[in-house]
Structure 1
């Protein structure tokens, strides 16, 4: 009989980061704390050719990157098994079902533990109150407590026992190990005491400890689910299929993977768009609120850009595909949001290191406490009870939750305000910012040009100029076409490079282009003398009619109020722009920015940022465009609009959505609030242990009080972290 060799092929789940690096997402079971995250990341990062290993505690996902062709993905699963964790390729639907099952199981365990706690507490009260109770009656109540608690603890403690066993099997410890030792010792001691007819037993302490721990873990699970729902809502916008044209009249519904750039797809009313592209036929309204941040419906017509995830409201559209599947704006936002939920600051790393040291310290403290009490003359019984209290009260759950809880809540809140994190410690760096340097074009202004003197041009002339502008590729001409709402270009239009376009309407020659080309220099000079920062494009009909359109980028609608709010918070604001001096001066005056420079080259921006940093300033650079990438990298922290060139987005630590500048202010407010809460949580966690450990070692607390104190500290830390959902200056 021939043996069959079982092979595991995970190539379907591997993605290419670039020509050298491969990426794989794995779902990992049993990840419950910062210590688990650090253990997994260290274990995988130690493998040769692994360039990145990052655990997202929110959805228990492990992202691994390695040099192509050097490792088999199955090796990662084997390595995780050695560390004590079961893993499998991450699939969103399966992960969502697993999380729902886990929440249901935790709630069931909590219900069982709470039921047992209520019943055993009533029995305990009967023992405490019965000062004249006979020995037989007390034994009966103790055995009855054991009958209730032991099976309930065996069931309700499964989340902790399973995790601890997995860690011990991998020859390591995690936060659940001291919990399980404390519960097991308390139950064992209680059983021994009951057998020996002792006056006290600790069944109530053991089951109450499990109840409080399960309540904290369930609250933590629900908080993570709520934050993960932000990413889930975004993922739900991704349509899995598209209606693709295979000819003039034949359409088929195909998987999105079968759609390529250049294809034509049909978008019906009520459908989510599955691609990025340009409308080539049809009219409708689009809801783009979750993609661009705009709450008003956008008009869609020929030439309109559409994005995956937008909802088509009314009409039918034909769209020429520019990007599909992983190349869309929605995919880029999803990637940035994943980075936000995986973000790891200096404080998180500090808490991780402390959590790793905690388990051995807790065990050592409990052992030394027991031996110390015995050496002091206490009985083994009393010494063990005191050691159990030390094990329970020193569990580092609060410390492990202190920073990740705030980071998770803050990242979700910032996303709802239109801010996406692209760097692990960006919250920490933004919180310390005292100077913000803005680029002008595409940052303080909207990306698209707008005609500012449309009201002075007759409607009939404006419409004709717009139709003529459709034949030109110049951005200023495109602004005229867009402002005029032009739908169909004129026939037989000739473009003369560097000058403009011309055609014939009603026997008259019409031209659109430079003022010299249209013989409108005097009119153009008059407009430029009044408003020097505008760009001009001229239109002529015949030899007697001449018009000039003034075109410029509009400031973002809330730019002035955001700049004022930043300055009110004591943040210095500067503007560095490569644009002409009149345009920059006009924007600076309108926004109340006193420090500005025009005609600035990329090297000059870097020099100014370095000068500010030498002065001790913490500089945020907010810029858009290819030439801003070096200055974004030079700043303490950087931010770009989602419309920025891809290079700028890759360089920026944060990205913001929509046409408003308010996300910049939101980033500062949320980051400062998050940093205050992180410090508070660290203070609460450390302060709790500084106070609680000596009390427990001194034997001044019982295992039950220790359980209440330890669980209370974890719940307090989580409740404080939830405050990061709302930005504000007060604590």
Structure 2
């Protein structure tokens, strides 16, 4: 249940044009393209259903899939519909219509660290308030006289109020955003429960009532924040596994031309049949076959074996493996997006986005 925190992406609403979005998309062939957008405010099953359903209703969209671990929605769409080129900016507007900002996905590590720190501080504040109010409540439960009881209730109210505003802002902001767009999410009942318990307790305190529930209010907030913080940390760990694999892929490679000239190209510009030079200490950018040279290759990313294996002309090497000793000339066998490393990353993201039976039940309940 990671909270609605903006990432370090470029906001599309005012900055990114349709042409820039089109260039950010990737051609899949057969008249289809795919575009990935960051949706940092998505955090629950209801968010997935709303965003995916809204996108799939568009005639040009073939498939839409939201991954909560990476907070990214992957949209597969047709180049043209009825002879007109598809406008990727319409996807941003569709997502915005559901109450979520869409961004071009970039590195979110710094934003995640900032959100984690904010959540931890909020947990500490709520825990401090809950502990101190509970101490005052024990005295009330033990049979304090009316004057002492009223005094302790007022002190509890003053402790709970700033804790409620500071630590509960994650739930309140999300609930208000959902209601503003005409639907609910799981933070709406949470916010109602916390606010109602506080104001009912305050009403009882003003009228010298015997019972108040400030301890329950702050304790509920404390435990809910613990759950949200743990969920954020687990998602961050899952996201780090994917990003760790992605970092193993080089940004480019040295291509050997027909005339022997060497040209460093970005990884997306490497095509099957290109001859690449792989120096000692470099990782392979794409799946390839050794043309000349001999070396030792670290295959630990593939099979977990730390012992290097020899590479000879004719041997097939996979993207992400590490060249250890000698220089090699290899021939690219596939594009980067179809390499072994890209397939592993895709499978990991698909596994994170998969839904178990009980999670599907919870998602349906969240939509009610």
Is TM (by shorter chain) over 0.5?
yes
Distance 1:265 1:29 in 2: 38
- Does structure 1 residue 133 correspond to structure 2 residue 148? no
Report the TM-score when normalising by structure 1: 0.45
CA contact (8 A) 2:130 2:219 kept: yes
Q: How does 1:358-377 map to 2 (within 5 A)?
A: none
Distance 1:285 1:235, change over 3 A: same
- Does structure 1 residue 241 correspond to structure 2 residue 252? yes
Q: How does 1:147-296 map to 2 (within 5 A)?
A: 147-246=158-257, 251-292=262-303, 294-296=305-307
Distance 1:322 1:66 in 2: 27
**Which residue, out of 109, 122, 125, partners 2:135?**
122
Distance 2:91 2:270 in 1: 32
Could you tell me how far 1:196 is from its partner in structure 2?
1.7
Higher relative contact order (CA 8 A, sep 6+): 2
Provide the secondary structure at the position in 1 that maps to 2:134. helix
Distance 1:118 1:347, change over 3 A: closer
Q: Which protein is bigger by CA-based radius of gyration?
A: 1
Q: Which residue of 2 aligns with 1:34?
A: 45
Distance 1:18 1:109 in 2: 48
CA contact (8 A) 1:286 1:299 kept: yes
Distance 1:346 1:211 in 2: 29
Could you tell me how far 1:180 is from its partner in structure 2?
0.3
Q: Which residue of 2 aligns with 1:316?
A: 327
Q: Which residue of 2 aligns with 1:80?
A: 95
**Which residue, out of 78, 93, 104, partners 1:89?**
104
Q: Which residue of 2 aligns with 1:108?
A: 121
Could you tell me how far 1:266 is from its partner in structure 2?
2.3
Distance 2:28 2:335 in 1: 17
Q: Which residue of 2 aligns with 1:513?
A: none
Could you tell me how far 1:293 is from its partner in structure 2?
5.4
CA contact (8 A) 1:84 1:166 kept: yes
Provide the secondary structure at the position in 1 that maps to 2:366. helix
Could you tell me how far 1:160 is from its partner in structure 2?
1.0
CA contact (8 A) 1:116 1:207 kept: yes
Distance 1:195 1:174, change over 3 A: same
Superposition RMSD on alpha carbons, in Å? 2.4
Offset from partner CA, 1:473-515 (integer Å, 9 cap, x none) = xxxxxxxxxxxxxxxxxxxxxxxxxxxxxxxxxxxxxxxxxxx
Provide the secondary structure at the position in 2 that maps to 1:208. helix
CA contact (8 A) 1:274 1:324 kept: no
- Does structure 1 residue 329 correspond to structure 2 residue 344? no
Distance 1:144 1:5 in 2: 49
Distance 2:273 2:17 in 1: 39
Provide the secondary structure at the position in 1 that maps to 2:80. coil
Offset from partner CA, 1:375-416 (integer Å, 9 cap, x none) = xxxxxxxxxxxxxxxxxxxxxxxxxxxxxxxxxxxxxxxxxx
Distance 1:289 1:220 in 2: 30
Provide the secondary structure at the position in 2 that maps to 1:239. coil
Offset from partner CA, 1:170-195 (integer Å, 9 cap, x none) = 11111110000011111111222222
Could you tell me how far 1:243 is from its partner in structure 2?
2.8
Unaligned 5+ segments in structure 2 are 1-13
**Which residue, out of 50, 66, 79, partners 1:68?**
79
Moved more, 279-288 or 289-298: 289-298
Provide the secondary structure at the position in 2 that maps to 1:299. strand
Distance 1:52 1:207, change over 3 A: same
Could you tell me how far 1:127 is from its partner in structure 2?
2.4
CA contact (8 A) 2:17 2:89 kept: no
CA contact (8 A) 2:290 2:311 kept: yes
**Structure 1 segments (4+ residues) deviating >4 Å:** 4-8, 246-250, 292-295, 345-348
Offset from partner CA, 1:441-476 (integer Å, 9 cap, x none) = xxxxxxxxxxxxxxxxxxxxxxxxxxxxxxxxxxxx
Provide the secondary structure at the position in 2 that maps to 1:10. helix
Provide the secondary structure at the position in 2 that maps to 1:265. strand
